[in-house]
Amino acid sequence: MEQQAKTSNQLIIRGITSDGRKFRPSDWAERLCGHMATFKHRRIYFSPKLRPAVIDGIKCVIVDLSIRESDPKIHQTVISFAKTNGLEEIFQ
């Protein structure tokens, strides 16, 4: 899997735990992506490097792997969160 990470440019963290349940709380993806979000005119704008999404009805976080170099602390926080909570990681 490490080889995939080096050739991939995106990581998708799916809100499904290792035992197949939906991860809670329901706003986990928005909270996690808030690390790189900005606010303007009373709206939140998520970074293209770390953004929430819904894929096949499942909340996800799409991580542009360029954050490994640009924001290594945020990258480590996101990866640690996924591993600690047993969330599914898919490299693309």
| 23-52 residue pLDDT tens | 999 999 999 999 999 999 999 999 999 999
Q: Where are the beta strands (DSSP E) in the chain?
A: 10-14, 38-40, 43-45, 50-55, 58-64, 88-91
CA–CA separation, 78 and 61 (whole Å)? 9
Domain span at residue 6?
Answer: 2-91
Global pTM?
A: 0.86
Q: What is the mean pLDDT of residues 3-19?
A: 80
How many independent structural domains does the chain possess? 1
Q: Where are the beta strands (DSSP E) in 3-47?
A: 10-14, 38-40, 43-45
| 48-85 residue pLDDT tens | 999 999 999 999 999 999 999 999 999 999 999 999 99
pLDDT in the model for residue 7: 58
Find the CATH number of the domain harbouring 80: 3.30.70.2340
